[in-house]
């Protein structure tokens, strides 16, 4: 695959791609052009003069390595990334509720895709991840994200703590989610603009990152299970923040 191109699989992901940036789509392949499930995509492709061709399920899997590809793959120009150097400029243009999600290490593509989907649902301004030691934004991430990889800005940075310092200088409040916190998320009075930090799947937020947080919070577990999946926890906290500030 050309480094300037990307594969996008799944009905919802391809549909959103065609709505957000059809001008970047080179070609689309489906396993069955007569299937009703592709009707909206066929209409959008026709509207944008994009030819749809036929490809077997096996070939789509060979190209994408995604088993649940739903019989469709699009080849598109790689989405433009927001660089670390453009962060301040990006923040100055935010017009929505100014909530950022920072993920302090992530390795599971399905978790990342789920986080992006949550962020789209709550109109989160951007997701910030490290540009190394983090998951690649691959076909699995974009399939699970169901189109939200197109709608949610992703900013890759070299150093999380340096980015937090920059956010603080721009009047952002920093909240870290950790089971070591004393306060439950429901008892926090949130100040905006804010950045929520969620830790990785195995170790949570690093100690050094926690030191830069203005506040820490936790989800009080009332059942037998001691912890939640990272994306599930992010969804609960983001929902709580959204309900408190809106």
Nearest to 118 by CA among 149, 91, 88, 94: 149
Phi, psi of 142 (to 5 degrees): -70, -30
Which pLDDT does position 96 carry in this prediction?
Answer: 63
8 Å CB contact between 161 and 212: yes
Cα–Cα separations (whole angstroms), residue 105 to 89, 128, 210, 225, 232? 24, 10, 13, 23, 16
Number of continuous H segments (helices) and E segments (strands) in the chain:
10, 10
pLDDT of residue 3: 77
Between the alpha carbon of residue 245 and those of residues 92, 132, 170, 190, the distances in Å are 20, 33, 19, 7
CATH H superfamily, domain 84-245:
SPOUT methyltransferase, trefoil knot domain (3.40.1280.10)
Task: Give start and end residues of each alpha helix (H) in 75-195.
Answer: 87-92, 109-121, 139-145, 148-151, 160-169
Q: What was the pLDDT predicted at 1?
A: 60
Per residue, what are the HEC states of 35-65? Answer: CHHHHHHHHHHHHCCCCEEECCHHHHHHHHC
SS3 of 74, please? strand
Integer Cα distance of 197 and 176 in angstroms: 5
Q: What is the topology classification, in CATH, of domain 5-77?
A: 60s Ribosomal Protein L30; Chain: A; (3.30.1330)
Q: Where are the domains of the chain?
A: 5-77, 84-245
Q: What is the full per-residue pLDDT of the chain (246 aa) written as tens digits?
A: 677 899 999 999 999 999 999 999 999 999 999 999 999 999 999 999 999 999 999 999 999 999 999 999 999 999 888 888 899 898 888 876 689 999 988 888 899 999 999 999 999 999 999 887 667 888 999 999 999 999 999 999 999 999 999 999 999 999 999 988 999 999 999 999 999 999 876 778 888 899 999 999 999 988 887 778 899 999 999 999 999 887
Is the pTM of the predicted complex or chain greater than 0.85?
yes
The Cα-based distances of 102 to 163, 205, 246 in angstroms read 10, 10, 21
Give the Cα separation of 231 and 177 in Å (integer).
Answer: 12
pLDDT of amino acid 157: 92
Q: What is the pLDDT of residues 73-105, one digit of tens each?
A: 999 999 888 888 899 898 888 876 689 999 988
């Amino acid at each position: 695959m050309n480094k300037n191109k990307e594969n996008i699989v799944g009905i919802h992901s391809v549909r959103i791609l065609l709505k957000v940036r059809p001008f970047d789509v080179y070609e689309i392949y489906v396993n069955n052009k007569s299937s009703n499930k592709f009707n909206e995509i066929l209409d959008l492709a026709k509207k944008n003069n994009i030819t749809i061709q036929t490809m077997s399920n096996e070939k789509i899997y060979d190209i994408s390595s995604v088993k649940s590809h739903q019989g469709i793959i699009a080849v598109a120009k790689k989405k433009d990334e927001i660089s670390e150097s453009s962060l301040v400029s990006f923040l100055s243009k935010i017009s929505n509720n100014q909530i950022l999600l920072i993920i302090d290490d992530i390795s599971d593509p399905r978790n990342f895709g789920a986080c992006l989907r949550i962020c789209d649902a709550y109109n989160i301004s951007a997701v910030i991840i490290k540009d190394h030691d983090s998951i690649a934004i691959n076909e699995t991430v974009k399939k699970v994200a169901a189109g939200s990889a197109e709608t949610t800005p992703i900013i890759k940075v070299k150093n999380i703590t340096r980015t937090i310092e920059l956010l603080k200088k721009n009047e952002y409040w920093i909240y870290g989610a950790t089971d070591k916190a004393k306060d439950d998320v429901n008892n926090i009075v949130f100040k905006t603009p804010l950045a929520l930090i969620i830790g990785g799947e195995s170790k949570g937020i690093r100690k050094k990152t926690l030191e830069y947080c203005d506040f820490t919070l936790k989800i009080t577990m009332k059942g037998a299970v001691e912890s939640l999946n990272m994306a599930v926890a992010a969804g609960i906290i983001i929902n709580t923040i959204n309900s408190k500030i809106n």
